[in-house]
Structure 1
Amino acid sequence: MKKLLLIGAAALFLAGCQSDSQRDRALVGGGLGAATGAAIGAATGNGVGGALVGAAIGGAGGAIVGSATTPKNCTAYDQYGRPYAVSCP
């Protein structure tokens, strides 16, 4: 039970990190997914095999979701050539 609480607390702390880099978001998502998948796989009682499978599936899923949800930052220029941020189409 203590391990599950520790993993949950670490996931909450890492979830607070925000990055606009697609690679960074994929790495964080993969790490969180792998940790969560390993915890769930171990909790099912299938031993090390379940934890490894859960970590692999969670890591791949987290990396895909983290990469796909990266916000897109677009830049536009005013009439004087000064850049400013706009929402992407």
Structure 2
Amino acid sequence: MTSKFKLFGAFGVAAILAACGATPGERAATGALAGAATAQVVGENAVNGALIGGAIGGIAPCVTNPNANGCY
């Protein structure tokens, strides 16, 4: 049960941090850091977490708001 709380907490922090950044590159870097941290908290591979978090951080804001800064 404790790991579920850690997981939800880590995902919450990752979601908040992934919105930071003015460009897709900045958002991808923030997402990668948050993904790696989340992976470490839940006992998974940090590299995989960074890759997934970076991809999500880089493109998610452009998917939800195509007019966001840096989205084409």
TM-score normalised according to structure 2 size: 0.56
Please list every run of at least 4 consecutive aligned residues from structure 1 whose deviation after the TM superposition is greater than 6 angstroms: none
Please give the root-mean-square deviation of Cα atoms over the aligned residues, in Å. Answer: 2.9
Q: What letter is aligned with 2:51?
A: A
Q: Unpaired runs of 5+ in structure 2?
A: 1-9
Between Structure 1 and Structure 2, the one with more strand by share is 1
Q: 1:45/1:71 Cα in 2 relative to 1: closer, same or farther (>3 Å)?
A: closer
Match of 1:57 among 52, 56, 64: 52
Provide the rounded CA distance (Å) in 2 between the counterparts of 1:71 and 1:59: 17
Q: Within 5 Å, which residues of 2 pair with 1:24-63?
A: 25-46=23-44, 50-63=45-58
How many residue pairs get aligned? The number is 52
Residue identity (%): 30
Higher helix share: 2
Displacement of 1:71 in angstroms is: 4.5
Distance in 1 of aligned mates of 2:58 and 2:43: 26
- Answer whether contact 1:29 1:65 (CA < 8 A) is retained: no
- Larger Rg over CA atoms: 1
